Amino acid sequence: MHAVILAGGSGTRLWPLSRAAVPKHLLPLGPGGVSLLRATIDRLLPLGATLHIVTVASQAEGCQRVAAEAGLGPDCVIAEPTARGTGPALGLAVRWIAREDPDAVVCSIHADHHIGDAAAYRAAIWAAAGWACATDGLVTVGLTPTYPSTGLGYVALGRIRSSRDWIPPHGSDEQEELSSAAEGLAAFRAAGFVEKPPLHRAERFVADHTHLWNTGLFAWTTSAFVRELRAVAPEVDDALQAVVEARAAGDEERAAQLYGEIASVAIDPLVMEKTSRLTVVQAGFPWSDLGSWADLHEARRDDGNGDGDDNVVIGDGLAVESRRCLVDAGGGRTVAVVGAEDIVVVDTGDAVLVVPAHRVQSVRAVVERLRAEGRTELL
């Protein structure tokens, strides 16, 4: 088993804390103040998988530093020459892994998610790997929705699969308990994706128990992934193979040129939404993609960092006579919020963000405005 940790992007919805130079996955937002990438590595180590970190070249050094702290070597980092989205990034990783391990089972993991139950999370990944072996297809992990979210993607449930067909991944004796937990998770044929539905559809999905949240946790064998990618985008697979050959020959300049010519695209529309061989494992661990300041507020509160009024204060901050506020005072000065409800205040020293909790998704517009005005020093 190989676990590919996706550690790219800049987390624009967590601006001004998350920047291109210090993206979300390298920030100390994990348990105990570790980076999200380190927290992800620590959660995956008990699987006994070979770990890889896929990132863009500009973030490779930061990812290698975190990997070293966790006891991993620098070769675990697979760097994209330029950012091209999760589709080419995962294709590059799969092609690179297949050079030396053509029978590998590959699990795709996001580096910047908040996980409330590490054991259940590992069981879901283990289950997905087993179904990838059993079906010779692609697998995604879905979560039972706890509310009708309009900001997440959903995967539709088709016919249930028989647990008798599941093949446990190869593991040590210590992972027998993991296999037992994984085997108990239901799996279905996937019947399609719905991205960020309107509220009335999301409410129906929850009420009818017909859809799961799509977590972006995937599994496949290298041969199955290459087969599916070639079926829908042979030009992308040809380009990736050429990139891998150039890189293996030590010609990084040629590899960068070839990779830069690939169109940027996410893995979902590139492959996952087009395959007819997709299984979805139904899991139930507490999860957040930390896609907004509201998500971070909730995750910190769930970790026991809130006060009696559901305020979360980070750094030298105060929330006085206030409720459900997030105050992140990391800019070297005291930040006080008085008599407020449902607001987010973030101070990083060179920028201050104040936004109502229900408008946190609009923070991306600030980044777009700054980029349009050439304020690159704040990005």
pLDDT in tens, 118-160: 999 999 999 999 999 999 999 999 999 989 988 889 999 999 9
pLDDT in tens, 247-292: 999 999 999 999 999 999 999 999 999 999 999 999 999 999 888 9
Quote the pLDDT of residue 164.
86
Q: What single letter denotes the amino acid at residue 355?
A: V
From residue 271, alpha-carbon distances to 81, 87, 90, 139, 140 in Å are: 22, 8, 11, 12, 12
> Looking at residues 374-379, what average pLDDT do you find?
92
Residues 6+ apart with CB under 8 A from 171: 48, 126, 178, 179
Where does the chain show beta strands of DSSP type E?
2-6, 50-56, 77-80, 105-110, 114-115, 138-143, 153-160, 187-195, 211-221, 278-283, 287-288, 312-315, 317-320, 326-329, 335-338, 343-347, 352-356
> Looking at residues 36-43, what average pLDDT do you find?
96
pLDDT in tens, 152-172: 899 999 999 998 888 887 655
Quote the pLDDT of residue 366.
95
Quote the pLDDT of residue 174.
61
| Whether the Cβ atoms of residue 233 and residue 179 lie closer than 8 Å to each other | no
Q: How far apart are CA 299 and CA 19, in angstroms?
A: 20
User: Phi and psi (nearest 5°) for 18?
Assistant: -90, 125
Quote the pLDDT of residue 168.
81
Q: Which domains does the chain have, with CATH numbers?
A: 2-288 (3.90.550.10), 293-378 (no CATH)
| Whether the Cβ atoms of residue 117 and residue 285 lie closer than 8 Å to each other | yes
Task: Identify any residues that bridge with 328 across adjacent strands, giving them in sequence order.
Answer: 314, 346
pLDDT in tens, 172-210: 556 777 888 888 899 999 999 998 899 999 999 999 999
Kindly state the percentage of the chain with pLDDT values over 90: 81
Quote the pLDDT of residue 138.
97
pTM above 0.75, yes or no: yes
How many CB atoms are located within 10 Å of the residue 181 CB? 15
> Looking at residues 230-250, what average pLDDT do you find?
96
Signed CA dihedral, 212, 217, 220, 224: sign only: positive
85 CA to centre of own chain: 12
Considering only CA atoms, give the Rg of the chain: 21
Quote the pLDDT of residue 335.
97
Peptide bond into 16 cis (omega under 30): yes
> Looking at residues 75-100, what average pLDDT do you find?
94
Closest CA to 279 of 156, 111, 120, 366: 156
> Looking at residues 322-328, what average pLDDT do you find?
97
Quote the pLDDT of residue 12.
84
DSSP letter at 76 equals G
Signed CA dihedral, 117, 120, 121, 122: sign only: positive
Query: Looking at the predicted structure, is the pLDDT value of residue 86 above 70?
Result: yes
Structure tokens at 114: 């908040």
Quote the pLDDT of residue 171.
59
Structure tokens at 290: 């930390």
Residue linked to tokens 């999370």? 121
Q: How far apart are CA 74 and CA 115, in angstroms?
A: 26
